[in-house]
Each structure stands twice: as C-alpha cells, then as structure tokens.
A and B are shown apart, each in its own frame.
Chain A
Amino acid sequence: MEKSFISGRIWVLLDQNKRLIEDIDTDQIYHNAFLHITEVSQMGQYALGNLEGWKDFSKKASPGDVLIAGRNFGAGSSRQHAVGCFISLKIGLIIAPSFGAIYFRNAVNSGFPVLRCQELDELVAKKALETGDEIKVNFRSGEGLNVSRNTHFKAEPMSAVQYDIYEAGGLFNYGKRISKG
C-alpha cells in the first residue's frame, strides 16, 4: 500500500477570534483525570476534552480526518495518551507550525503522522484552509493540495527517520527492521 500521502477532511482548531489556537498543552489534549487508562482504544473519547470550544471533538471526528493546530501543539507532559487519543480516533495527520518536543517524538515513534508547516497561520488567516475542506498531503515532499479549493501549500517533509518509522508502523518494528539489516 502506498503510504506516502494522505487525503482527509480538515478540522482547523480556531479560537473565538478565528485564530489558530497556540500552545495547546497536553492537559488540554488529554486531561490528567484519565491517565489511569492504558488501552489506546479507550483514549479517543477524551481527545481535546479539555480544550475550550472543542470538547466534543471526539464525537465530531471521523477516521481519516486531519487536524490543523497552532504553534507549539502538545507542549508539556510526556504523556503518550495525548497522541494515543488521536490514534484511537483514527485521525490521519496533525499539521502545526511547531510541536512540543516530546509530543513530536511520541507521534513519530508511534508511527502517527505529524507535519510542521510554517505558513499555516497565514493560510488560515486568508481562509485557504477551512474546516471541512478536503486536503491531500505528500509526507515525503511536504506538498499539500487543498482539493476543495484547488490551492497548494507546503509543509516540511517528514525526515528520513520519521518516514521510516511511520512506514514500519512504529518504533519497535522499525528497530527490528534495522537490526535485521
């Protein structure tokens, strides 16, 4: 199966002023009250459950959807629940200008696609990306197409290690592949 691109409907995480929400920390993505849960399949219901205006996200999202967020998405705790909850909902990709360092690693190592895109704020401001749009993104080139509007955008492509782990389906399988040489 070709895994190097994804198509999906987007959710643009906007605040009341129609700006991309920045610094969405791990407590807003996945509240600490549910940290005792260890099964990924049960985490989805709590995704963004503590983010103002987005508490019902888990009920609205469909498999394959793409999340568009502001700068420093996933700042804070190392809790992997904050990645697991999106895997649980079968979200296809998260795009943000930047991510919390541990969050980014957690996503990469879970084989969950995350991409950085510096021009995201600008694209959202000029309404080149709006909730409900259908987009298609190539992970290896970073090239994005807004299918609904027939406009293009550019994200940073996945690094080699990120793509290899994603393709292997997670860190452990990637490690096994490396050690078999």
Chain B
Amino acid sequence: MGKTFSEKILGLKAQKDVQAGEVVTVSPDYILSHDNSAAIIKEFRKLGVKDVMSPQKLVIILDHIVPAASEKYALNHKTIREFVSGQKIQNFFDIPSGICHQVFSENGFALPGKLILGADSHTTSYGAFGAFAAGIGRSEVATLWATDEIWLRVPETIKIEIKGELPSGVYAKDVILKIIGEEGADRANYKAVEFTGEAVKKFSLASRLVLANMAAEMGAKNGYFEPDEETLLWLKGRAKDKFKVISSDPDARYEAVLDYNISSLEPQVACPHTVDNVKPVSKAEGKEFHQAVIGTCTNGRFEDLEIAARILKGKKVHPKVRVLIIPASRQEYLLALKKGILEILVEAGCVILNPGCGPCLGAHQGILAPGEVALSTANRNFRGRMGSREAQIYLASPATVAASSLEGKITDPRKFL
C-alpha cells in the first residue's frame, strides 16, 4: 500500500515508516510567528531557557496590527524587536513587509517537501507549494523555540479532485467557498486535504494559495498541491534553501476522495456567521452593505487587485460604500503601483491601506459599527470578527466584491466582464 504526501513527509522527518493516526516527534524546517511573538516570548521566558535553539529556523513577520494601533500593540512590537536583535534572528520582517503568509511565500521559505509550523491558523497556505504546513499555538511555538522538537499526529488525507474549467467571472475563491459550503466547517478536522485534478493544474500559484489558505476553514491540518513546473518556475530565484518535491503515491490510502466539477460553477458568497453558510451569488444578490474589503492573506495579491481594477476602471464606487484595498505585501503593492492598478482603484474612490492584515481580525483600520454589513475577500466571517458582534460579514471573490462596490449591494460580477 502506498503512502500519502503527509505520511511520507512526516515519516521522513521522524526517520521511520509511519501511517495516518500515528504520533511522531519531528523537528520543523521553519517556525513562523507574527505579532503574537510577544505572547510567545513571554511563554518562552517562563520555560527557563536562555536562547532559542535554532534561531535560523525562526521567521517572524509583523502584520496583524501594523503600524501599532495603540500603546499596548506598540509595546508588543517593541518587545519583539528587542528579542529579535538579542537572539540574532535573521529572518525578521518589520511593519513595511506585509501579511506573514504572503511575505513568507514570496521570500522563498515556503518550499516543496518542507515542514513548516506557524502560530497562525492560515499557515496551511504553504501547501500551495507542496510543503507540509500547519498552524499551531503559542505554547507549542515557545517549546519549539526552546527544544526544536514537537509531536504531530500523522493526519488522514481527504483528496479533492477538481475537474473542468473555471467559467468567466468565477475564481479560485468561488471554488473553495463552494467546497466548504458543501463539506462543512469541520469536515476536515485534524485531516490533510490534497487538491488535485486537471482544473487546479491550470491555477496560478496565487490561486492555489487561496485554496490552501482556506483549507483551514474546513478544519484541515494542512492543505497540499503537488508541485509542478509552474511551482518550480515561481520558486526560481526565490527559494531560500534546497528542496525536494514529495508526492503522494498513486496507490495511497485516502480517507475520502471528493469530486468537484467547476465548469458550471457560479460565483459564491459565504453569508453570516459561518464560512460554510455558502450560497450562489444569485441567492445573495441585492444585499446592501457599508464596507468592502479587498485584501488579506486569502485575496490581496496582484492578481486579485488586477481583477478588481478591471471592473472598477473608469467608474466610481457607490457613494454609500467604503472600499478598502489592502495589498498583501509590499512587493504586491509595488507591482500594482507600477502597473497603474492602484491609480485606477484610487480614482474609483477606493482607500488604499498599507500591506497587513487590516480590519480582517477586527483590531483596526475599518472596524464595523453595530448594524453594519461588510463584504470582504477575507477567509472568516465569524460573528464579531471585524468589530461589533451586531455587524454582518459576507465573503466573496475580489471580482464579486469589486462589482458589488459599484452597486452598493451584492452583485453578480459576470455582468461587468
């Protein structure tokens, strides 16, 4: 019997033959943390260990509340900067850089066959490059800093075969929303999800990142795409280290194989207050909203901003809607700037914010008041996520958010293309 990607990579790391369900002790290749490094540092200090065991493995990226929105956040950032310099941590990205998952990827840490653990639930993103990448908690990261070792349960794997071709006006975001809506927010709890099939092979890396990122919203431990020529091309000149592609065996044992054909897929919208409350746009159309967000680790890349600009070019956003644009990183920001994308968006009446998590997690830069409604390209619409618990959050693709911003209500983007 063959093995899945997850069984293979964790077996390799544990230096033994393993199967789903076993518990292994492993040492990761990279350990990611962000603003929560302040809390991790506090925890690390309590362990009574003076120095980080493998400082070269740490990647610390400030993104959640950048620049600091209050004295408390400022103090957390200061604590982190002092720790970084004291521990001689080379891979530190201060506030100009952008969202951790984008910065981590574009700087070549997210590599095929690497084991990456991060103190953020959307660490699953790096599966887009064929890495085993999983979110963990604060105590785990502190312990990893101290000991460079951790236990992991080898996950069972769900294979999702995506066939067909994306219709015009339908994007990776619609595909993953459809899947989460069908399967439910806990379908993949503790499990690995492999995305495969003819359709995803045609996806850009940016689009694959959308699926791997939101695998977390099905509860997945990790997401995975088999690296192909497109992946290797993307990594050329970026890869921080040597790497080896690891793939599932053709006769690997899967917990389930799910088939999706996207050829007749409509744009999708996740309605309040769970990500699996998904409807086709035709069933959500007409819902008025107050704030639009195009950005986040899910959909803030150049390809997303370009789609929005294509729809908004030469037009004005609805006067009752505030449209916030947040490029995922400084690199994506600069590219959009040079290509004239940001100019189009500003002329249409959008607000351009600095790269970072922005209002996605409700800490600053566009908090919702009671009774307000947001339409966002983010990955979560939990009650209270963007501020008031009396607010509502709808999730959709950048195209749907841009088209809806013109109308002031949820709109099918296909009539603008």
Name the distance in Å between A87's Cβ and chain B's nearest Cβ.
Answer: 10
Name the distance in Å between A68's Cβ and chain B's nearest Cβ.
Answer: 18
Please tell me if the beta carbons of A161 and B384 are within 8 angstroms of each other in the complex: no
Residue B140 contacts which of A31, A71, A109, A179 (CB distance < 8 angstroms)?
A109
Please tell me if the beta carbons of B189 and A172 are within 8 angstroms of each other in the complex: no
Q: Which of A21-29, A57-65, A130-138, A149-157 binds B?
A: A21-29
Name the distance in Å between B13's Cβ and chain A's nearest Cβ.
Answer: 16
Closest to A73 in B: B186
Name the distance in Å between B218's Cβ and chain A's nearest Cβ.
Answer: 10
Please tell me if the beta carbons of B190 and A101 are within 8 angstroms of each other in the complex: yes
Q: Which of A3-11, A75-83, A119-127 binds B?
A: A75-83
Given A78-B120, A78-B121, A175 and B23 touching (CB < 8 A)?
no
Q: Which of B146-154, B290-298, B314-322, B409-417 binds A?
A: B146-154
Please tell me if the beta carbons of A161 and B23 are within 8 angstroms of each other in the complex: yes
Please tell me if the beta carbons of B38 and A171 are within 8 angstroms of each other in the complex: no
Check B382 for interface membership: any CB of A closer than 8 A: yes
B:351-397 near A, CB below 8 Å:
361-363, 380, 382-385, 389
Check A33 for interface membership: any CB of B closer than 8 A: yes
Please tell me if the beta carbons of B186 and A98 are within 8 angstroms of each other in the complex: yes
Check B81 for interface membership: any CB of A closer than 8 A: no
Check B47 for interface membership: any CB of A closer than 8 A: yes
Residue A33 contacts which of B36, B189, B363 (CB distance < 8 angstroms)?
B363
Q: What's the Cα separation between A27 and B275 when bound, in Å?
A: 13
By a beta-carbon cutoff of 8 Å, the part of chain B in contact with chain A is: 23, 25, 36, 38-39, 42, 47, 64, 70, 72-73, 76, 119-121, 123, 135-140, 142-143, 146-147, 149-151, 153, 185-186, 189-190, 219-221, 274, 361-363, 380, 382-385, 389
By a beta-carbon cutoff of 8 Å, the part of chain A in contact with chain B is: 23, 25-28, 31-33, 35-36, 38-39, 50, 71-72, 75-80, 83, 98-102, 104-106, 109-110, 159-161, 170-172, 175, 178-179
